[in-house]
């Protein structure tokens, strides 16, 4: 017992005298960059039928490393891990991104190779819908259009000029948490083509400081996959205008799932969202989603709330999230009252 106590005291003394200058990190990369993103929340769920429920949750726990290569300061290898809540209550670690990025392999064009970004969602989360901590984008949200997710294994060519940007990807089509292809299924061809009307296509934008207006054409031609016996094709248009005082964005999509008549994905839908910033650090936000499926299962949801930027790294959000998975069925909607801490470091 005394030996263990002495060892613990010795370790504590050594740690207390150490400084960050004593920490040595070795790598074959020129530079390592670490960062994290966490969405921590509390939810009061109030269904129209059944009992209310209260619970805490973590919606995202990114831990990310970028290893910048020797020779070109803009080439890097990225790995991003996240947590995923299983239905059994377990929390598992899941690989989100793992790709090599090579800059300027063609004029104004770089490429991601590995488990890469799919072309649309990351763009919208940084330019149009800025509150991923409370809801996914319309094309990913379960009771929105629910077409796709944000990462997959493949290759993604990313072009940026002042007036135009694009992403053109070929991926497996199953998504980053779907089962890999068994060799009998096709690939997914995916795209985003964006016109930057104010010449901001190459800039790293900050919504509270920059003014921008973008118009995008996006979509996927997803050939046979494990989830779709036949081709699943969807496309849409998106527009966003932002200035430091406010943002407004909207999208229209249409889809044809040739392999499943009652999948709930064939149809069309639209979404609109806005943000008003009445004072420094404060924002009021709202969003409405509607999707009309050919199987007569029409879905809609709306979000309204307020956000406060506590520090550069922490934002607090309070909102209402109303979800109606079938507007033709009575008493199946749920309203969630949510509190969220969004942490980035």
pLDDT tens per residue, range 226-283: 555 568 999 999 999 999 999 999 999 999 987 766 777 899 999 999 999 999 999 9
Residue-level pLDDT at 230: 61
Q: Which residues make beta-bridge pairs with 77?
A: 67, 100
31-47 and 53-68 strand pairing: antiparallel
User: Residue 186: is its pLDDT beyond 80?
Assistant: yes
From the centroid of its chain, how far is CA 245?
A: 24
State pTM to two decimals. 0.90
Q: Rounded to an integer, what distance in angstroms lies between the CA atom of residue 230 and that of residue 242?
A: 39
Tokens representing residue 21 in the block: 């200058």
Least confident of 13-22, 40-49, 216-225: 13-22
User: Residue 216: is its pLDDT beyond 90?
Assistant: yes
User: Residue 2: is its pLDDT beyond 70?
Assistant: no
Q: Rounded to an integer, what distance in angstroms lies between the CA atom of residue 291 and that of residue 263?
A: 13
Please report the beta strands in 48-118, taking only residues with DSSP state E, as ranges in sequence order: 53-68, 76-85, 91-106, 109-117
User: Residue 190: is its pLDDT beyond 90?
Assistant: yes
Q: Using DSSP, how many helices (H) and how many strands (E) does the chain show?
A: 2, 16
| Residue 90 CB partners (closer than 8 Å, separation 6+) | none
Residue-level pLDDT at 328: 87
User: DSSP alpha helices (H): ranges in the chain?
Assistant: 2-17, 121-127
Residue-level pLDDT at 236: 99
Q: Rounded to an integer, what distance in angstroms lies between the CA atom of residue 228 and that of residue 220?
A: 13
Residue-level pLDDT at 261: 63
> pLDDT band at residue 89, thresholds of 50, 70 and 90?
confident
According to DSSP, residue 181 is labeled: P
Mean pLDDT of the chain: 90
Tell me the pLDDT tens digit for each residue of 293-334.
Answer: 988 889 999 999 999 999 999 999 999 999 999 998 888 999
Least confident of 177-181, 220-224, 237-241: 177-181
Question: What is the phi/psi pair of residue 344, to 5°?
Answer: -135, 135
* CA trace torsion 123, 269, 50, 53 (10° rounding): 10
Domain covering 31-344 in this structure, CATH number = 2.40.160.10
Place of tokens 């997959």: 152
Residue-level pLDDT at 124: 99
* CA trace torsion 154, 128, 220, 180 (10° rounding): 40
117 in Cβ contact with 101 (< 8 Å):
no
Q: Rounded to an integer, what distance in angstroms lies between the CA atom of residue 85 and that of residue 74?
A: 34
Backbone region of residue 175 per phi and psi (left: phi > 0; alpha: psi in -120 to 50; beta: other values): left
Mean pLDDT value of segment 25-48: 94
Q: Rounded to an integer, what distance in angstroms lies between the CA atom of residue 207 and that of residue 342?
A: 16
Q: Rounded to an integer, what distance in angstroms lies between the CA atom of residue 11 and that of residue 5?
A: 10
Residue-level pLDDT at 73: 87
Mean pLDDT value of segment 24-37: 91
Residue-level pLDDT at 184: 60
Residue-level pLDDT at 35: 97
Domain boundaries, the chain: 31-344
Tell me the pLDDT tens digit for each residue of 120-172.
Answer: 999 999 999 999 999 999 999 999 999 999 999 999 999 999 999 999 999 99
User: Residue 183: is its pLDDT beyond 70?
Assistant: no
Helix (H, G, I), strand (E, B) or coil at 127: helix
């Amino acid at each position: 017992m005394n030996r263990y106590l002495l060892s613990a005291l010795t370790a504590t003394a050594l740690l207390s005298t150490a400084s960050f200058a004593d920490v040595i990190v070795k790598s074959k990369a020129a530079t390592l960059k670490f960062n994290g993103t966490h969405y921590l929340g509390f939810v009061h769920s109030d269904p129209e039928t059944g009992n209310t429920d209260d619970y805490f949750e973590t919606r995202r726990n990114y831990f990310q490393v970028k290893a910048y290569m020797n020779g070109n300061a803009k080439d890097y290898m990225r790995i991003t891990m996240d947590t995923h809540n299983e239905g059994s209550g377990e929390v598992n670690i899941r690989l989100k991104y793992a790709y090599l990025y090579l800059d300027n392999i063609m004029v104004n064009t770089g490429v991601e190779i590995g488990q890469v970004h799919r072309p649309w969602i990351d763009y919208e989360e940084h330019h149009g819908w800025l509150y991923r901590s409370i809801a996914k984008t319309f094309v990913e949200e379960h009771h929105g259009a629910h077409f796709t997710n944000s990462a997959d294994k493949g290759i993604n060519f990313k072009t940026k000029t002042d007036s135009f940007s694009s992403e053109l990807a070929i991926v497996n089509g199953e998504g980053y948490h779907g089962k890999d292809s068994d060799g009998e299924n096709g690939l997914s061809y995916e795209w985003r083509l964006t016109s930057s009307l104010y010449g901001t296509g190459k800039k790293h934008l900050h919504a509270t400081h920059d003014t921008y207006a973008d118009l995008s054409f996006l979509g996927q031609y997803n050939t046979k996959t494990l989830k779709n016996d036949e081709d699943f094709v969807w496309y849409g248009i998106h527009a966003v205008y932002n200035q430091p005082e406010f943002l407004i964005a909207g999208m229209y999509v249409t889809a044809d799932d040739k392999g499943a008549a009652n999948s709930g994905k064939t149809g069309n839908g639209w979404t609109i969202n806005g943000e008003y910033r009445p004072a420094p650090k404060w924002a009021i936000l709202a969003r409405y989603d509607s999707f009309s499926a050919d199987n007569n299962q029409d879905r809609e949801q709306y979000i309204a709330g307020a956000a406060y930027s506590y520090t550069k790294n922490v934002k607090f959000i309070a909102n209402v999230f109303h979800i109606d998975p079938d507007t033709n069925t009575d008493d199946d909607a749920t309203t969630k009252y949510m509190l969220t801490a969004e942490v980035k470091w």
